[in-house]
Amino acid sequence: MPEEPKTACHVTALDKTSNAQMSFDDFDQKGVSASTWRRLSERGCYAAAIEAAEDYLIHAHFAKASEQRDVMFHIAQSLGMIGRYEEAALAVAGAKSPIATPADDLDWNTYLDGTWAFFKRDKAMLARARQILVSEQGRGNQINGSVLSGLLNCFDKPYLSAYQTPCRSEK
């Protein structure tokens, strides 16, 4: 992939102000503008994505605490993508739900446990979390179980590589 021009990985004060006015869905999930966490991450602009998401955490108005946890987790992922595993692990820990409630589709805390284990280089804990997720029902659990499979299959590779789809099918 060609290297992005530096301006493509820059977040201005105006971008941050605009982002703060967006709903969580528009900023984090849909990425409706080039300066959102989602779009910056898709372009490989991980440091700028972290900057945008951190500012969003401070200035946006969240409808639910789970939205804040999602943004925090996405900061963790971006930190992991650039090899800052200790900071990523701390951000993952901060993204966990304080109350583990069973959900049909998404066992959030187990997914985060597995991701945290990758950053902390605990292969056994990652394998346990992966096993739990792949055995649970629900599309979200299957998707996240696949991600943890990739992290386990490519445990010795950087997170940027291990998170990618090819690792999810390697044995």
pTM above 0.85, yes or no: yes
pLDDT tens for each residue of 62-77:
999 999 999 999 999 9
Q: Provide the CA 137 distance to its chain's centre, in angstroms.
A: 22
Residue 150 pLDDT more than 90?
yes
pLDDT tens for each residue of 6-19:
558 999 999 999 99
Residue type present at position 136: E
Nearest residue to 150 (alpha-carbon basis) of 133, 23, 1, 3? 133
Question: SS3 for 157?
Answer: coil
Using CA atoms, how far apart are residues 140 and 52, in angstroms rounded to an integer? 26
Domain ranges, ordered by start, for the chain:
1-95, 98-171
- The CB-side HSE value for 10 (13 A sphere, CA atoms) comes to 7
Tokens 């390697």 sit at which residue? 170
